[in-house]
Structure 1
Amino acid sequence: MSATNSASGSKNNSMPTTITLSTFTAARIKEIQAMRKNIMESRSTKLAFQKLPKHMRRRTMSHVVKRLPRRLRQIHMNQMQKAGLPPKNNRGSRKYRRRPLNLQSEYARRQRRVKWLNTHLWHAKRFHMIEKWGYKLPKQPCDKSFRACYRATTQHCLVQDMSYVKCIELNGSYEDIMSQLEKMVDIRTGLTFKALCFREGKKFGELTLFEPAVNSYERKAIGQIKYLWNQYADGRKLLWLFVHAAFYKQMVTLFIKLFNFELLKENELKTITYKSPQGVILKELEYELDTISLTGSLAIDILKIALRTVELTEKHQDMLRNCTRKFLIKQNQVFDNLSKESHIPPNMVLSITVNDPRLNFPTKRTKALLNSCTPNDDDFDELQSNLSFSPLFDERVRNLIKTNRVSNEEICKLREKNLIPGSELELKNETLIPLILLWRPGNKEKENNGYSSGWDIIVPSNWSQTFFLAFVMWGARAGGLRETESIAFERSQPDILYPDTIAGEEEERDISQLYREKYFRSSLPLKHPNQ
């Protein structure tokens, strides 16, 4: 060995202790490429799908490349190209072949004849949809959930999208507004617009409106509405009327005739504005406000866990320009102190300012249960006198909320970056969302607040689906028109639409026609035995 080493001279055949990976890979890049080419282009006589064991082979593998494992698909494609028979491309399912190129324009086209709720796409996948009152509305869930929905109204919580109840705004002096509205009310039916508890904005009212006539006994009823007063700093009054879609057009036409309204403008948000010679302004807020209804004993639990109030500071003064911050802070504090044991006055109105509910979505559907706390009932009187400072009454704030909404895509990206799944998210620019909560007392019972008690939440229109999904994720069961009729039946309310009104007569004709067609469709003519 020594002779051999001496003959070799000064050559060193030992391996290096370290190598540079980039230099080593660059020197052998051609070898790697040749090896990959040999792997992808097999020279064997067997086809790609013939290399699989017999129990994994399928007859369609030679035509449908997706039947093969991923590691053999490219080899199969190359073999088919060499043979001059390229495999047929899969056209995809019929559902995606018929899918329009622009979904937004397609949805807009389909809403020309009937309107959609903002939660339509969510309901259409889970509910039986029907056309009613010019809308496409959810009738009932596709699953067998009649008993479950009833239990939700008695023991848990039922959520419904009531956005087909539209809002009309009247703005002007109190005397000019009441000079015409008093022609449409009857004091024999109960408290009217002039009631002090309603006029101050502490509570919302419910009454039946009538067509104006000389003789009060000859007047025909229009329907039942809800209304809410608000007062501006300059003494002008603002009245919100929540009108059912069945007689909404009749109501607007009657207002135009009474006040001598003339069309003023129509903005980009499809808000139609009228103005009378006396200075009264009417706005149709159909596309600006939506209503979500929560019914059941756990409604307050779901509200408090789904809605997180915001700590208002001076940096939020731009949005709260026409409001007093200290009153809004007090309102949020009273909402945080609410509990099941709280004695809430009937028809109470509560204004709060909350954060984006998507930031605290649970990872899966969770039932909201809160620990009982000591109720703080001393703040209700002070709270109710400050409702006029709700930012939702300001049109500028409503427009600002629509433009500042963060997209679902950005929320999903934040959720992906979250280190702990399920923890709350944080946004750089905090979004303030003012809401108005209307407390509905139920039938008088010994326990809780009575059957069908709950809250109506007035939200900006483009946020309705977000809040609706938040309530569903925190344990509320979704219902449709069937549940509305069931609740009215359990409350001994004969009809949602009065039978002696125009809307009630049209409803009866539609129901009669539906059952007549159903009866004659199911009954077949009898045949003679000899035939």
Structure 2
Amino acid sequence: MEGRGSRASWRARKRARIMQNQPPNIFRADPCQGSEPDTSQHNNGLDPPPGTGPLMQGHDLPATIVGLKFAEARAAEVKAMLQAVSQKGSVHRVFQTLPHYMRRRAMSSNVKRLPRGLRAAAEKEVQGTQAKPVSKCRSRKARRQHRNLLEEYNRRQRRHVWLETHVWHAKRFHMKERWGYRLAERPSAKTFRISFRAMDQHCLLQDISYYSCIEVSGRQEDLLQRLCRLTSKEAGMTFASKECLGGRRQGSLVLYKVEGFPSKPLGPVTFIWRSMLTPVVEESKHRQLWIWIHPAMKKEVLEELQQVLGCLIPVPPKPLDESLTKPVPEGGSGNPIVGHLRRKKKRSRSAARPEKVLRDGTRHLSDPTSWRTENGDIVLTDLTMELVRLRLVGPLANCVLTSTLHVADLPQVSEEGPTSWWTKHNGYPPHRELHEEQRRKFSLLAGLQATSDIPSGTILGLTVGDPRLDLPGKRSKSLPGETSEAGKLSF
């Protein structure tokens, strides 16, 4: 009996502990005292008000409930309850609903730091805020393929033309858009002492390939007779200067509009006559004249030259090589889709490879580049961006030239190939003798201490090999009197 009494008292204490936080309108039957509820423990010992609670209203609870019918009858209520639970009414995140003493900084990024009951809701929040998956980037080897580099190089020049040294300058200089080109304006470094030191003590190289070159070809007497209308002897040198007519000196003058001296100047230009093998200049000989013009005034100068020379008929361009116009077979070209791996396919030898596009910032690609007269005796050609022009400034410019450029050797055996023109050119004895003379003169430049030792405007023609095949193993400074140890080239 003692065991039963202790067990009943334990149940009573447990029930009292549960019922101490219950609202007054909830009644639980005491299993120890029977099925009648003890109302004296609630509402301060007072009777509950009439009409409160289902038992007080005279309704009995059903003995059984069919779950399906009960859910169908309250489907709208269940749906509204689920919708209210799924929608978040505040702007706080899940981890912000925890008490301050339970929050951790890592909860905002790591869902596993939250309590287990809140991890599912936190994962839904993270999935909604995550960015779209980025496609997989190609490997460096795939991005550095020669074909892709050329296509990218041509694509990025649609608006502004790049020079040959653009990639080198873009890493070290602030680039600026001028005259249709992308040119280096100032170095990224905050000091200019390096440039001044190079000009004063060593050598400074500048890329001035953006200058436009215009070629005029025809009989010498016809060219001089028509070009004299753009110059004047009162202003200085003209195209008929004897120092420059033989092709050994570069001349500079100021161009004017047709019969516009001195009130209508166009601007300064430099010119070079193509040299001849014989020192005697024949007036009836077919000559070539190259005029270098700043791109800012190219349009005006070109219009005046066309008017003076009478070159108004466009010359159709030469047809492209058949190998470049063949259609590319399916699967033989095209870049791989980013983010997917593909099996490497062998490129067909007959497939056309992309060629470097020679763009010009001063004209459109569809514009003609050559014009002629009605009888075809004079031809005017625009050679912009077809010639590379570099300027070396400093006392050691001659040393840099002699250590970088090496005279090409004369071929011993005639072979067909890309260098066959060199073999045919030296088959003529005067050309061979001229090449040997140019070799001797060029070797004298290494011993000169300054560029002022050579007369201003002197032209030295020379045929050299590819300097990329003769690069030194270690970077060194070129000094006068030192000879390069690089091997000689042979064709």
Normalised TM-score (structure 2): 0.54
- Residues 1:192 and 1:426: Cα distance change in structure 2 (over 3 Å): closer
Partner of 1:216: helix, strand, or coil? coil
Distance 1:286 1:187, change over 3 A: same
What residue is the counterpart of 1:327 in the other structure? 434
Question: Matches of 1:161 and 1:113 in 2, distance apart?
Answer: 20
Specify the code of the residue in structure 2 equivalent to 1:107.
Answer: Y
Residue 143 of structure 1 deviates from its aligned partner by: 1.9
1:370 deviation in Å? 2.4
Measured on the aligned residues, the alpha-carbon RMSD in Å equals 3.3
* Residues 129-148 of structure 1: pairs in structure 2 closer than 5 A: 129-148=175-194
| Structural mapping, 1:21-420, within 5 Å | 102-213=148-259, 216-218=261-263, 220-230=264-274, 235-261=285-311, 262-267=313-318, 272-277=369-374, 279-313=377-411, 315=414, 316-320=422-426, 324-338=431-445, 339-341=447-449, 343-371=453-481
Equivalent-residue separation in structure 2 for 1:364 and 1:372 (angstroms): 15
Q: Shift of residue 372 of structure 1?
A: 7.8
Residue identity in the other structure for 2:255: L
Following superposition, the deviation at residue 124 of structure 1 comes to 1.3
Aligned length: 291
Distance 1:223 1:300 in 2: 30
Instruction: Please give the alpha-carbon distance, in whole angstroms, between the structure 2 residues aligned to 1:147 and 1:140.
Output: 13
Secondary structure of the structure 1 residue equivalent to 2:454 = coil
Equivalent-residue separation in structure 2 for 1:321 and 1:92 (angstroms):
58
Cα 1:367–1:90 change in 2 (3 A) is farther
Distance in 2 (CA, whole Å) between partners of 1:364 and 1:142 is 26
Amino acid at match of 2:170: A
The 8 Å contact of residues 360 and 423 in structure 1, kept in 2 or not, is answered as: no
Displacement after TM superposition at 1:91 (Å): 6.2
2: CA distance, partners of 1:347 / 1:130: 30
- 2:59 paired residue number: none
Question: 1:284: Cα distance to partner?
Answer: 1.3
Hey, what's the Cα distance between the residues in 2 that align with 1:113 and 1:277? Answer: 35
> Which blocks of at least 5 consecutive residues in structure 2 are unaligned?
1-105, 111-132, 278-283, 321-356, 359-367, 415-421
The CA deviation string for residues 432-478 of structure 1, in whole angstroms up to 9 with x for no partner, is: xxxxxxxxxxxxxxxxxxxxxxxxxxxxxxxxxxxxxxxxxxxxxxx
Higher percent of residues as helix: 1
Query: Structure 2 CA distance, aligned partners of 1:282 and 1:144?
Result: 45
Query: What is the distance in 2 between the residues matched to 1:216 and 1:295?
Result: 34
**Which letter maps to 2:261?**
S
CA distance in 2, matches of 1:193, 1:95: 57
Separation of aligned partners in 2, 1:112 and 1:260: 32
Cα distance in structure 2, aligned partners of 1:104 and 1:357? 22
- Separation (CA, whole Å) in 2 of partners of 1:127 and 1:141: 4
How far is 1:107 from its partner?
A: 2.6
- Give distance in 1, aligned partners of 2:293 and 2:436: 31
Change (3 A) 1:295 1:423: closer
Distance 1:425 1:125 in 2: 32
Mean Cα displacement is larger for which, 312-321 or 186-195? 312-321
Q: Secondary structure at 2:461's aligned position in 1? A: strand
Rg (Cα) greater in structure: 2
TM-score by length of 1: 0.50
Instruction: Specify whether residues 205 and 93 from structure 1 end up closer, same or farther in structure 2 by C-alpha distance, changes over 3 A only.
Output: same
Q: Give 1:320 deviation, angstroms.
A: 4.4
Percent identity over the alignment is: 32
Q: Matches of residues 366-515 of structure 1 in structure 2 within 5 Å?
A: 366-371=476-481, 424=486, 430=491
Measured against aligned partners, the alpha-carbon deviations of 1:150-182 in whole angstroms (never above 9, x if no partner) come to 111111100011100121111101121112211
**Following the alignment from structure 1 to structure 2, what is the Cα–Cα distance between the partners of residues 341 and 158?**
16
| Residue 272 to residue 319, structure 1, CA distance change in 2 (3 Å) | farther
3-state SS of paired residue (1:337): helix
- Provide, for residues 456-514 of structure 1, a one-character-per-residue CA deviation record: whole Å limited to 9, x for no partner: xxxxxxxxxxxxxxxxxxxxxxxxxxxxxxxxxxxxxxxxxxxxxxxxxxxxxxxxxxx
Between Structure 1 and Structure 2, the one with more strand by share is 1
**Deviations 1:5-60 (Å, cap 9, x if unpaired)?**
xxxxxxxxxxxxxxxxxxxxxxxxxxxxxxxxxxxxxxxxxxxxxxxxxxxxxx9x
Q: Deviations over 1:224-281 (max 9, x none)?
A: 1111112567811110111111111222222122222111122458682211135111
